[in-house]
Structures are given as C-alpha cells and as structure tokens.
Amino acid sequence: MSSKKKKKNPGMTREMEKEGARVFGKHVAKEKAVLLVVTMLACALPMQLGLQLWDQIPEIVETGLIGIDGKDDSMPRAAAVFLLPGLMCLLNLICHGQLWFNQKRMTIPSAPVRLVGRWGFPVISTFFCSGFLMEAAGGGLTLPYITPCVLGLALLMLGGHMWDCPRDAKLALRFSFTERDERTWKDVHRFAGWLWSIGGLVVLEWNLLTMGTGMTAPLIGLVLLIVPVAYGYLRGGQLN
C-alpha cells in the first residue's frame, strides 16, 4: 500500500456549480436572498393582526389542547400574539439555512421539498396563526379574508420563482418580446420578481388592515399580475 495520503477533493469547479444550478435550480441564489426577508415578514404579519385584535382576545387563550393534568393547555394572550408567529419565523429561518447549506454542498432536495422549505411556514403562519387569533377574538377565518391571503401568497411564490427564471423553466413569462431577446427576458422576469414579491406583501398587509371586508386587496393583486406584461411589451418595443 502506498504511504502517500490521498489528495483532498478540490471541490467543484465554477463550471460544475453553474451546471448544477442550471439543472437543479438555485434555491438560495444571491438574487433570491430577498426571499428570506419576504418570507420572514410574511411569517410575522399575524403579530399585527394580534395587535389589532388585542382588546378582543382574552388574557388567557384556550388552545383546545388537553395537557397532562386533563385541563385545557391555555396560553397567555401575549404568547398567542407573538410567540406563535415568532416560532414560524424561527422555523422558516432554519429551513432557509438548510437550503443554503444544501446549495453549498450541491445536495439538491427535490422540487416539492424546496417549495415547502421556502413557503411552508409563511403559509402556516398566514392561515393557522391568523385563524387562531381570530378564533380567540370570537370570530374566525372567512372566505373574504382567505381569498386575498391566497392571492398574496401566490404573488410571493411567483415573485420568488421569477428572480432567476431560466429559459427552460416550465413556468415563465413567455411572450414574443421576451423570447427574442435575452436581456429583455432577464429584465422582465427580474421586474416581475420585485413587483410580485413586494406586491404580495402589500396584498397581505392590506387584507390585515381591512380584515377582509373590502375588494381593494384582491383588485391590487389582479392588477399586479398583468403589470409585468405591460412592462415587457414597452421594454421590448424600446429595443426594436
């Protein structure tokens, strides 16, 4: 046997990293660093709802869970308002950290796992934490409240996808003005990424302020969906 030690693996070359990112997708690319901020804000939004409903929420909130003593495992109002959404923020941070770690090692999880890792806790916080607080205040989730939430989360997910959307992506803004020019493709998709990421938060925020009583939030969401198309048309026309 040779006494020489085996050379350490020098690691992936830059070309290998690019190819891996092209094939599997950059789940924590530099362009998507804003995703962490966006998802953390989405997880924390129910805290605002709790503050709005503070006077309507009892000081001791029943959870519906039975403790080891056979009694309802209740929690203080402050814990319901801040601790539950805060827990969602912490779990979301851990998931994004794990995705970053996997990105560095190129141990790419499947697309459904990446989707849940990015968006699972914002969805849970939006519906579970908000619903829990509204139930504690004597109300509950209603269809007029849920619909803008779904639209806002959909905008956030679409915005996150558009940041570095490749040409061969199954979901993309495929129009004549984006297909014929690489620069226009990148500009339109990055514009859509910014717009839909910020717009999704605006829709969620507006829905919280109005408690789902108006049509403004869904109208904002629908308008935001078509704005990148108009931007791309104008952008493509300038290059012709």
Q: Please report, for the chain, the start and end positions of each structural domain, with discontinuous segments joined by +.
A: 16-141, 142-240
Q: Sorting pLDDT into bands at 50, 70 and 90, what band is 153?
A: very high
Q: What is the pLDDT of residues 89-118, one digit of tens each?
A: 999 999 988 888 877 777 777 778 888 888
Kindly provide the b/e burial profile for residues 68-82, where b requires at least 16 CB atoms within 10 angstroms of the residue's own CB: eeeeeebbebeebbb
pLDDT at 47: 96
pLDDT tens for 121-136 read 999 999 999 999 999 9
Give per-residue pLDDT as tens, 48-94. 999 999 999 999 988 776 656 666 678 899 999 999 999 999 999 99
Cα–Cα nearest to 72, from 54, 58, 82, 90: 58
How many CB atoms are closer than 10 A to CB 11?
9
Q: Is the pTM of this model over 0.95?
A: no
